[in-house]
């Protein structure tokens, strides 16, 4: 029994031993499966994560590639911009160099535009128009042809067109023609060279060194026409070389001249002259005292065998000459002029006298003479303009362009001319004249003249009378630029 009990116990123990591992295995297997399932889930999650990371990596690589391409493009653009900036810098530098080389042009207005550069060049158109209305009443008893020149007439006195300016090196130029008549007449046409601030050389068609009134521009004279002797003695422009010293107190001029430009077409014209002038301009009692003289010697040459001296009656609109002297056999002319003036603010006084001697072969040499004295006063608060030995442009302080009435000047003159000597009977005359000048602005002027002329020993007789009176009245409208 005991043995059977032991065997049963042993069998039971064995049975229990086999049963326990089976149960443990089952439990382990379930755990492993759970773990495997968890691992599979983790691996699947990891795979999903890897896929996600790979996607993100691919996207990052794409972005990096795009950023690299953008950076490369930006680098190329920056390089191109650098090249462009360098080119722009070079262009700007070249432009600055070119701008530095290109002269700066200044434009100002002096009746017309004047262009002036900083390298010495300048250019300005110039011109003037003078329209005259004149009336001359002569004595009764003149011939019908002589009467035809009396009465009222209108004349385009001057119509000048030209240019003037400067060039580098001290050179300058002026070219001007008169188109008022039926043909073109050369007026000023010359080249200048300024040796220094005081000395100027002039080569070309110009005025020789006549006296004060003749060298004063016709734009600025006190009367419509210059004095009788200035008209009579052939004061004209001629081709030559002239030198002028113009200092603060002294003007000295000396030149050598041939004939006028319009007469030099003939190669037989061999006339020449030497003309000099000296003027002192000291300051006296708050004004300028003008004291001067001139001398002129001219060889006429074989082509010129006679000269004629004559003058119109105060205005240019009439062609009648009550005084006229023709001298045949002329070989030379010697002229001597004396001039004086005083200018102080509104007031001016002027006086000139001139002697002209004609050299003749085989005949006595006649000497003729003429002159004038004049006083003038500005009615407005303006000043008479004078500079370097001549009268200059009066510039109204209160012109029309500034809301004022302009400048007003009145003048009185006594004028004489004697064309009788050495058997020559050209007549004598004396003139008392008044003028009123209104200058509304710098480049516009109106002149009203009146004069009474006492004619004596005139070659133009009226009913046999050689002594008589003539009245003259004139009005000029003038603009220049």
Q: Say if residue 75 is in the same domain as residue 142.
A: no
Distance CA(326)–CA(418), nearest Å, equals 13
Same-domain check for residues 243 and 358: yes
- pTM comes to 0.79
Indicate whether 424 and 456 sit together in one domain.
yes
Domain membership flag for residue 110: no
Each residue of 37-79: pLDDT tens digit?
777 777 777 777 777 777 777 777 777 777 677 667 766 766 7
Provide the CATH number for the domain around residue 234: 2.40.160.10
- Say which DSSP state 101 is in: H
Same domain assignment for residues 160 and 37: no
Buried b / exposed e over 310-344, threshold 16 CB at 10 Å, is bbbbbbbbbebbbbbbebeebbbbebbbebbbbbb
Give CA–CA dist 238/262, Å, rounded.
Answer: 9
> Would 114 be classed as within a structural domain?
no
pLDDT tens profile 170-197: 999 999 999 998 889 999 999 999 999 9
Nearest-CA neighbor of 129 among 447, 481, 399, 442?
A: 481
Dihedral (Cα; 35, 39, 45, 51), 10-degree rounding: -170
Res 10 pLDDT > 70: no
- Inside any domain, residue 115: no
Q: Which of 72-81, 127-136, 227-236 has the lowest mean pLDDT?
A: 72-81
- The pLDDT of residue 17 is 44
Same domain flag for 71 and 198: no
- In terms of residue numbers, what domain contains 168? 123-480
Q: How confident is the model at residue 98 (pLDDT cuts 50, 70, 90)?
A: low
Considering the domain boundaries, does residue 147 fall inside one?
Answer: yes
In a domain? residue 117? no
Q: How confident is the model at residue 15 (pLDDT cuts 50, 70, 90)?
A: very low
Q: Which of 276, 336, 273 is nearest to 304 (CA)?
A: 273
| Residue 433 resides in a domain | yes
Neighbours of 131 (CB within 10 A): 16
Strand-pair partners of 251: 246, 279
Measure CA 421 to chain center: 48
CB atoms within 10 A of CB 251: 21
Is the same domain home to 38 and 131?
A: no
Q: Please report the pLDDT score of residue 42 as a whole number.
A: 76
Q: Quick: pLDDT tens for 376-430.
A: 999 999 999 999 999 999 999 999 999 999 999 999 999 999 999 999 999 999 9
Main-chain dihedrals φ then ψ at residue 35, nearest 5 degrees: -65, -45
pLDDT digits (tens, 9 = 90+) for 109-126: 888 999 999 999 999 999
Q: What proportion of the chain, given as a percentage, has pLDDT over 90?
A: 74
Residues 41 and 133 in one domain: no
How many domains, in total, are found in the chain?
Answer: 2
**Co-location of 47 and 151 in the same domain:** no
Do 280 and 189 share a structural domain?
Answer: yes
Determine what percent of the chain is predicted with pLDDT higher than 70: 89
Q: What confidence tier does 435 reach under pLDDT thresholds 50, 70, 90?
A: very high
Task: Please give the Cα distance from 51 to 128 (Å, whole number).
Answer: 100
Please enumerate in sequence order all residues whose Cβ is within 8 A of that of 161, keeping only pairs 6 or more positions apart, or say none: 125, 126, 127, 176, 177, 179
Examine the domain organization and report whether 322 and 386 are in the same domain.
yes
Of 38, 73, 102, the last residue of a domain is 102
The verdict on 70 and 133 lying in the same domain is no
């Amino acid at each position: 029994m005991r043995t059977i009990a032991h065997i049963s116990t042993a069998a039971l123990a064995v049975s229990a031993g086999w049963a326990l591992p089976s149960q443990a295995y089952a439990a382990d297997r379930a755990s492993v499966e759970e773990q495997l399932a968890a691992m599979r889930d983790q691996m699947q999650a990891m795979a999903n994560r890897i896929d996600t990371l790979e996607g993100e990596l691919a996207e990052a690589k794409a972005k990096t590639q795009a950023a690299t391409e953008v950076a490369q493009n930006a680098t190329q653009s920056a390089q191109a911009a650098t090249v462009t900036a360098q080119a722009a810098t070079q262009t700007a530098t070249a432009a600055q160099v070119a701008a530095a080389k290109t002269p700066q042009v200044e434009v100002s207005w002096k009746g017309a535009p004047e262009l002036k550069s900083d390298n010495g060049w300048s250019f300005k158109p110039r011109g003037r128009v003078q329209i005259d209305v004149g009336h001359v009443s002569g004595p009764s008893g003149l011939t019908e042809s002589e009467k035809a020149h009396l009465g009222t007439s209108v004349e385009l006195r001057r119509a000048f067109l030209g240019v003037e300016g400067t060039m580098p090196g001290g050179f300058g130029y002026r070219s001007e023609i008169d188109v008022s008549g039926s043909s073109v007449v050369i007026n000023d046409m010359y080249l200048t060279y300024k040796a220094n601030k005081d000395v100027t050389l002039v080569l070309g068609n110009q005025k020789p060194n006549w006296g004060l009134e003749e060298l004063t521009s016709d734009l600025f004279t006190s009367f419509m026409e210059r004095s009788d002797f200035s008209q009579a003695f052939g004061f004209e422009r001629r081709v030559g070389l002239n030198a002028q010293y113009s200092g603060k107190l002294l003007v000295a001029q000396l030149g050598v001249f041939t004939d006028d430009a319009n007469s030099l077409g003939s190669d037989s014209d061999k006339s020449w002259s030497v003309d000099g002038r000296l003027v002192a301009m000291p300051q006296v009692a708050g004004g300028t005292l003008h004291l001067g003289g001139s001398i002129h010697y001219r060889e006429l040459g074989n082509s010129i065998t006679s000269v004629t001296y004559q003058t119109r009656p105060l205005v240019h609109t009439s062609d009648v000459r009550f005084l006229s002297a023709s001298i045949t056999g002329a070989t030379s002319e010697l002229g001597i002029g004396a001039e004086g003036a005083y200018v102080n603010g509104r007031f001016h006084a002027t006086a000139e006298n001139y002697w002209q001697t004609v050299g003749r072969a085989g005949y006595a040499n006649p000497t003729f003479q003429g002159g004038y004295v004049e006083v003038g006063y500005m009615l407005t608060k303006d000043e008479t303009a004078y500079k370097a030995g001549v009268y200059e442009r009066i510039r109204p302080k209160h012109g029309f362009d500034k809301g004022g009435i302009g400048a007003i000047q009145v003048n009185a003159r006594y004028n004489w001319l004697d064309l009788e000597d050495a058997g020559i009977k050209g007549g004598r005359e004396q003139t008392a004249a008044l003028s009123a000048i209104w200058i509304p602005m710098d480049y516009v002027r109106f002149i009203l003249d009146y004069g009474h002329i006492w004619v004596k020993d005139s070659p133009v007789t009226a009913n046999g009378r050689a002594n008589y009176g003539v009245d003259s009245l004139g009005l000029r409208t003038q603009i220049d630029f």
